[in-house]
Amino acid sequence: MSIEKIVSLCKRRGFVFQSSEIYGGYGAVYDYGPLGIELKNKISQLWWKSMTQLHDNIVGLDSGILMHPEIWKASGHVDAFNDPLVDCKQCKARFRSDELVDEEAATTDWSSLQCPRCGTRGSLTEPRQFNLMFKTHIGPIENESNTAYLRPETAQGIYVNYLLTQNAMRLKIPFGIAQIGKAFRNEIVARTFIFRTREFEQMEMQYFVKPKNDDKSMEYWKNERYNFYTLIGIDSKK
C-alpha cells in the first residue's frame, strides 16, 4: 500500500488529520482524530505501565517544555543541533545537503550541481547550518536576553532533574527515569506523513548504571524488550 493510500485511510477513519486543514494545512503538523487519540493513548499507557509500574527502580517525570536556554548551550544543542541546508536560487526549494551528496565529500563544487526539483544547474547555494530548535521569547519584549527554545527532546528534562529525583525517591543505581511529552524540531525537510514531523510525542526512559556495568544492563533490557512485545501482543520473533 502506498503512503498516499495510508494517509487517505487514516483521514477517512478518523485517525489522523492534517493540522489546520480548513485553512490550507500546516506542514508536518498533525491532529489525532477520535480513533487516533484512543490508539495513541493506549500505546502511551502500555509503555508507561511497562516502564514505571512493572519496574521498582524506574520512576516517572513530567518536565517543562520551556527550559532555561543555558541548558541547551551546555548540552551542545545551540551550537551543534544543526542540519546543513542548501537552497535553490531558481525554484526556492530547500534541501539537506547530505541528501544531495555524500557527507564525506567536503570538496563538493555546489555550483556544478543540478537542482533535483527544477533541474537548473548552478542554482544551488553553498551549505549553511540550520538549527533545528524552535526559538521563542519569554516575557513581553523580544530580545536576546529572554530567548528560549521549545525542547527538541525530552531527555534533557530527565538529566537536569536527575539528582532531585534520586534524592526525593531515595533511588540507588541502577535506576531509570521515564517521561512522555511533546518535543519540537524545526525540520528542514519534513516528510512521509507522521514519521518525521515538527511537533511530536516522545516516550523516553533514561537508565543510569555504574561504570563498566553497561553490558550487563544492555543484556537485561534486551530481555525486557521481548517482555514488552508480549505485553502488547506482538510476536518478538518476527
Alpha-carbon distance of 234 to 203, in angstroms, equals: 19
Most confident stretch, 46-50, 57-61, 211-215: 57-61
Q: pLDDT tens across 106-123, in order?
A: 556 777 888 888 888 888
Burial 2-41 (b: 16+ CB within 10 A, else e): eeeeebeebeeeebbbbbeeeeeeeebbbebbeebeeeee
Q: pLDDT tens across 129-141, in order?
A: 777 899 999 988 8
Provide mean pLDDT across the span 182-209: 87
C-alpha cell at 7: 494517509
pLDDT bin (cut points 50, 70, 90) of residue 233 is low
Provide mean pLDDT across the span 206-230: 80
